[in-house]
A and B are shown apart, each in its own frame.
Chain A
């Protein structure tokens, strides 16, 4: 297991270094340089050379990269021209909100999807299985931005059951003071996850039921219940952890849409706001932070996987 963890950690570090490099390359690709992006297209050459000198953009690319990495190690992600403060400070204010949203949606998705998948296996090829299958196919085809918009129109404006958008307080926990306002964003973000996870859970469980150890358990006289929950379920849950790790980048992408639809003040909304104001350092900062958070999340899911799977827990390599 130690070998697995070390390899997996090394891989995560390599990916993060690669992402840092890519974000730096993107910052170098701005047409006309960062100067035109900040000072506007009418900036004179003298303006720009002064700006570049001030910010160290006149240095050779390798020096700039060195300073960029050095800054990152000190938690310095650059300067947001729109907010007139450090990118790190702006992001830190919003990051917890996105973590709460993504965390809640993922937890809700797992809590709903796993029993749904089991239910479909227990009732396989019966009407309820077909209905759930049809429902999950509908939610697959439903983009988050459409689902969110429809939920707002139907449940917030027409039926008046839920508020249109969650409270915009600074604290990440503000959403829990008015849980009703948090329902629609979470539903929007986890609908597709539930659809895909429950389908995956269903097939994973079906696969497990076809395994030799299930046949052995049945031969020993284990009850249907014991076979289902004692043998099949425990083995079927393991691939779900892998799927969770793999799904995180997409869930974080979904959070961008959800936050935009519901005006939820997290990282995604910040990114959209920064992008519409051409605040490139802020956009690149949120991209880097969101990616690192995603990589760390996937790493955690894989560690859980290693803990859950005895073949890795007790295995050598």
Chain B
């Protein structure tokens, strides 16, 4: 039983040759799904096999998705966090931009009146800072996952489209880039090009497009030999038509699932960079930078500078992984029913 995006697909003979995907060790990239037999069961559901075939494809996918309770929880958590970060500041007004004014607040104050979650080292209100930093984390997460997916899909499809030595060369480039430990690459890039929010999006995308490139190229190669593609070929369809009208649309499931997991991974990569001190420049912040500032004074017992940011990171990452997991199952069911 294989899933469209088994994140531990591997070629047992040549480590870097096969369509292996992310191996989530070390960084804490929370890549949960790797066991087909452990994925939350999404059978035909209580209403039985026949009745599920009613309704459109989108309805079917939605139904399988909703049947997965973890996924619904995940989606709700994502919505809640987005609302908290983007709508929260209009309800809970705090100063998050003026460092001079923030210094008038008591520093490192514990939770209490006026500051429900206390203040940080420079007097910024932590609850407000959580919203403000969350905006950065979410924007960078979504944007870099989007850039990485688009670039990776185009690159992988092109490699599959051309085939031959161009494909070989393009995939060797991917192999080489994948062999560089992600954090070293990220640190080198932020050292050379000074970090800003928009730059971080591209830096994180730069280390993230490799996996979708591989996935889509693999998908292209496997779809190429399907009967319907051969039928198009027999009827004289051009290679451009085969890739554009038949292969990419059929790989859309893989693409969507990858993008969902990538948002979680991008948020984690940004948090890791922020933790190492290479996040967005002050007075801007992100959750990793907040955690890092809190951890610098870990011995002081100022828990409000550590737990809120830490919990926020874990919560959003787990939520996106639940959603991605369920999407994969939903899309796989679609494949099986076809």
Contact = CB atoms under 8 A, between A and B. Distances in A.
A305 to B, nearest CB: 7
A140 interface: yes
B143 to A, nearest CB: 20
B187 A275 contact: yes
B28 A294 contact: no
Interface in A1-31: 4, 7-8, 11, 14-15, 18-19, 22-23, 26, 29-31
A70 B16 CA distance: 28
Contacts of B190: 275
Contacts of A295: 179
Contacts of A64: none
B328 to A, nearest CB: 16
A254 B187 contact: no
Nearest to B186: A253
B38 A133 contact: yes
B78 interface: no
A140 B188 contact: no
A252 B181 contact: yes
Interface residue tally on B, bucketed by range: 35 or more
Contacts of B187: 256, 271-272, 275, 283, 287
Interface string B263-307: 000001001100111100000000010011001001101010010
B13 interface: yes
Contacts, number: 225
Interface residue tally on A, bucketed by range: 35 or more
Contact of B27 (A14, A22, A254): A254
Contact of A260 (B13, B172, B275): B275
A278 B181 CA distance: 20
A214 B188 CA distance: 50
Given A143-B271, A246-B20, A19 B180 contact: yes
Contact of A22 (B12, B17, B176, B314): B176
A88 interface: no
Contact of A157 (B30, B181, B182, B298): B298
B268 A239 contact: no
A232 to B, nearest CB: 15
A143 B32 CA distance: 13
B12 A143 contact: no
Contacts of B101: none
A23 B310 CA distance: 34
A137 B11 CA distance: 25
Contact of B272 (A4, A257, A312): A257
Given A145-B272, A145-B291, A146-B291, A247 B8 contact: no
Contacts of A216: none
Residue of B23, B191, B193, B303 most packed against chain A (CB within 10 A): B191
A253 B34 contact: no
A275 B186 CA distance: 11
Contacts of A8: 14
Interface stretch (A72-80, A168-176, A189-197, A219-227): A189-197
B50 interface: no
Given A26-B192, A196-B25, A260-B275, A140 B298 contact: no
Contacts of A94: none
A11 B37 CA distance: 34
A30 B190 CA distance: 11
B9 to A, nearest CB: 10
B65 to A, nearest CB: 20
A301 B15 contact: yes
Residue of A29, A30, A153, A238 most packed against chain B (CB within 10 A): A153
A250 B272 contact: no
Given A140-B32, A242-B12, A261 B188 contact: no
B73 interface: no
A142 B180 contact: no
A280 interface: yes
B179 A249 contact: yes
Contacts of A145: 28, 271-272, 275, 288, 291-292, 295
B191 A283 contact: yes
A243 to B, nearest CB: 7
B15 A312 contact: no
A140 B31 CA distance: 6
Interface in A267-317: 268, 271-272, 274-276, 278, 280, 283-284, 286-287, 290-291, 294-295, 298, 301-302, 305, 309, 312
12 contacts: A15-B16, A31-B193, A140-B24, A143-B29, A196-B34, A238-B12, A243-B10, A255-B26, A257-B272, A287-B184, A291-B181, A312-B13
Interface of A: 4, 7-8, 11, 14-15, 18-19, 22-23, 26, 29-31, 133, 137, 140-147, 149-150, 152-153, 157, 164, 189, 192-193, 196, 199-200, 202-203, 206, 238-239, 242-243, 245-247, 249-257, 260-261, 268, 271-272, 274-276, 278, 280, 283-284, 286-287, 290-291, 294-295, 298, 301-302, 305, 309, 312
Interface of B: 8, 10-17, 20, 23-32, 34-38, 172-173, 175-185, 187-193, 268, 271-272, 275-278, 288, 291-292, 295, 298-299, 301, 303, 306, 310, 313-314, 317-318, 321
Given A149-B298, A251-B25, A284-B188, 13 more contacts: A143-B271, A196-B31, A203-B34, A242-B15, A253-B27, A253-B184, A254-B25, A254-B28, A257-B183, A271-B184, A275-B278, A291-B184, A298-B15
